[in-house]
Structures are given as structure tokens and as C-alpha cells.
Amino acid sequence: MQESTLHKLQQLEDRYEELQTQMADPDIMNDQNRYLEVVKESADLTDLIQCFDRYKKTLQNKEDCLAILEDSSADQDMHDLAQMELDEAKDKEIELENELIRLLQPKDPRDEKDIIMEIRAGAGGEEAALFASDLYAMYCSYAESQGFKVEPVDESATEIGGYKEISFIVSGKGTFSKFKFESGVHRVQRVPETESGGRIHTSTVTVAVMPEVDEVDFAIDPKDLKIDTYRASGAGGQHVNKTSSAIRITHLPTGVVVTCQDQRSQHKNKDRAMQVLRARLLEMEEEKRSAQIAGDRKSQIGTGDRSERIRTYNFPQGRVTDHRINLTLYKLDDILGGQLDALVDPLTAAKQAQDLMDNEH
């Protein structure tokens, strides 16, 4: 490991020990805001410091093994055991170095946030709408496997079970970190149920993933809003049709329109619609800023650009290809069944490797 990296790790370890002392300081404990800041900073460093401790113990184990191997008085059994432990320690050292480098990378501050997802049928008509439904089911299964909660916001369903569009909230610790690579165009190649000739069709579905935005982080002037109520339709049955509980909010300066009819309460629908509106408006601002940096979005893994074709699902061959990292897996059924980590983990690793290269330059 480079000397500069070791020096940085030692500095962070010193800081961690300082934080432990501060948490026991009565003056800091009596200042709730300060105490929470110290606890959070300490928690953010815990995984790194624990890994660094294991790394140092591994280095010490290496030195102990080398000392035995250099000791002429040690018998052959001792030498053999020391050599075996030395080989294991060398492998462990490499593994822990990689982990430390990963932990040293700046965290995306959005990673822990809940998300708002929007799935829209693109080219392909009814077949695209059916695949939008498949993707929604895939994300629901994946969210459940991660212990996340899915709450629908709004939907526009087709007569044969597809979605022209559907929006929903996924909440839980680390939600954005798990879903952030899903933004973009998803392409499907298969024989549609409505196709009698057995021809393979290509359709597309657009997915947007937006971190939830707190009201204090992104304020919207109420004068810029037009709010309409109407009777909900679809899910909810007769109850929702008795009252005008559905909400439509139009942001006048941008023309962005958000609707929410999933909740029975008009108040809850309004709150949910405002959540979506804040996320959309912030995403628009960030896209403008990113566009001003020439080539920046193109050079990154998972830019979140809705026009970027990111993945192809080929049913005849049972394969899924992620075009950003040139990864092809013949596990179509597993992935559509919610086993998305087979794609998420390699994408995360590729992003971390790229961030490391960018920082070195």
C-alpha cells in the first residue's frame, strides 16, 4: 500500500479515537446537536477503522510468520505451518487493501436516501407496456429481498395488464445506492403475446430513479403551483371514486405535472405528489448543471440519463446485457425474478474503480 494512503488511514484512526473521547465528554453529551454530529462522524468511520485494524493485524501476522521461517531453530512442522499462514496472510492483505481503498472513496451523499422511480413504456406500444409491468414486478421483488418498502404513487394501466407508466416510492436504508444504476432505456427483445407469427419484436421502456428531496433542501414557491382535485380511478375500488381524493399539481414555471391517486386521503395524495414534484425539479436542475460540464456525464458509469440505452433483455437467448460495462449474463429469469445483485454489484464495483482512477488523476 502507498505511504500516502497509510498516512491518511492513520490520520482517520486518530480522528476516530478522538471522537470516542468526545462522546464521553459531559459538555458534548449535554449539547444534543453537537453530540449527534460526533456520533454520526464516528459511525461513518467505523467500517473503515475496523477494516484498518484487521489489515494491521494481518501485517503483524505476516511478520511473525517470516520470523519463524528465518528461525533456524524451528522444526520443519513449524516452518510448514508458518509458510501456510504466510500465504493466507498475503491473500488477506491484498483483499483488505482493496477493501480499504473502496472505503476511502467519497460516499455519494444520496446513497442512503429513499427514491422515487418512474417507469414509462417507450417504443413498442402494448408490448412495451407489458414489459414496463415486468420491470415493475422485478423491482418490487428486488426491493423485498433487500428489506425495502414499495409504495405506489400513480399508474396508467392498459387493458391487458401492462403500464403506460407507473411511479412509486422505494424506502429503506441504502435504497438509492441499490437502484441508482437503473435510470435509462431498457430494451426488450421477445415474441409478444399478441404476435401470431412468432416474430421477435424490440421494444423499449424508460426508467428514472430520483432520490427523495426534503422540503428544507428544495423549497417550491406555492404561488408557482396549480393544484387540482379529481376522482381517483383504478386501484382502490369504489371507495376512492366517492370523493375527489386524487391530486394533480402543475408547476407553472416549468410545466411539470404530477398526479397521485394511490392514497385514499386527499392530504396524503398531495404530500406524495409534492415529494415527486420536488424530486423531478431537482433532477432537472442537476441535468442542466451536468450538461454544462463537457463530456462529464458520458464518462461515468450509470449517468442516470433517461435517453441512455443501458440494458437489453433478450428472451429467445435467455440473456441480459448491461451495455455500460459490457456484461452479459444468461440468467434472464433470475434477474426478472428480482435477483438484481448480479448486475448491481458489478456496476457498483466498476463505478468505484472509475472513481479511484479519477481521483488518482
Q: What is the CATH number of the domain that holds 264?
A: 3.30.160.20
CB-CB neighbours of 173 under 10 Å: 13
Residues of the chain with pLDDT under 50: 235-242, 293-300, 302-305
pLDDT given for residue 297 in this prediction: 39
- Structural domain contains residue 109: no
Q: State the DSSP H helix or E strand holding residue 335, giving kind and residue range, or none if neither.
A: helix 332-336
Do 269 and 144 share a structural domain?
no
Sign of the torsion angle spanned by Cα atoms 281, 285, 291, 297: negative
Do 211 and 305 share a structural domain?
yes
Q: Can you give the residue range of the structural domain that contains 227?
A: 222-290
Residue 38 identity (one-letter amino acid): V
Do 343 and 230 share a structural domain?
no
- Structural domain contains residue 295: no
* pTM of this structure: 0.67
- Residues β-bridged to residue 209: 117
Do 211 and 233 share a structural domain?
no
Among 239, 264, 290, give the residue marking a domain's end. Answer: 290
Three-state secondary-structure class, residue 299: helix
Do 28 and 94 share a structural domain?
yes
Using CA atoms, how far apart are residues 167 and 173, in angstroms rounded to an integer?
Answer: 20
pLDDT given for residue 239 in this prediction: 42
Using CA atoms, how far apart are residues 266 and 272, in angstroms rounded to an integer?
Answer: 10
- Structural domain contains residue 110: no
CA dihedral 75, 80, 84, 85 (to 10 degrees): -10
pLDDT given for residue 124 in this prediction: 86
What's CA 233's distance to the chain center, in Å?
A: 32
Using CA atoms, how far apart are residues 140 and 340, in angstroms rounded to an integer?
Answer: 11
pLDDT given for residue 12 in this prediction: 94
348 within 8 A of 340, measured Cβ to Cβ: no
pLDDT given for residue 228 in this prediction: 85
CATH code for position 77:
1.20.58
pLDDT given for residue 284 in this prediction: 80
| Chain segment 142-158, per-residue pLDDT in tens | 999 999 999 888 888 88
158 within 8 A of 118, measured Cβ to Cβ: no
pLDDT given for residue 166 in this prediction: 92
- Structural domain contains residue 85: yes
Among 104, 124, 145, give the residue marking a domain's end. Answer: 104
Do 304 and 209 share a structural domain?
yes
Do 198 and 332 share a structural domain?
yes
Do 305 and 268 share a structural domain?
no
pLDDT given for residue 187 in this prediction: 94
Do 204 and 60 share a structural domain?
no
- Residues β-bridged to residue 151: 169
- What is the β-pairing status of strands 309-314 and 319-322? antiparallel
- Structural domain contains residue 352: yes
State how many domains the chain has.
3
CB-CB neighbours of 358 under 10 Å: 10
Do 257 and 179 share a structural domain?
no
- Tell me the H-state helices in 293-320: none
Do 310 and 273 share a structural domain?
no
Using CA atoms, how far apart are residues 83 and 67, in angstroms rounded to an integer?
Answer: 11
Do 128 and 277 share a structural domain?
no
- Residues β-bridged to residue 250: 226, 257
Helices and strands per DSSP (H, E), number in the chain: 10, 11
pLDDT given for residue 243 in this prediction: 54
CATH code for position 157:
3.30.70.1660
Place of cell 426508467: 207
- Structural domain contains residue 202: yes
- What is the β-pairing status of strands 115-121 and 149-157? unpaired
pLDDT given for residue 215 in this prediction: 65
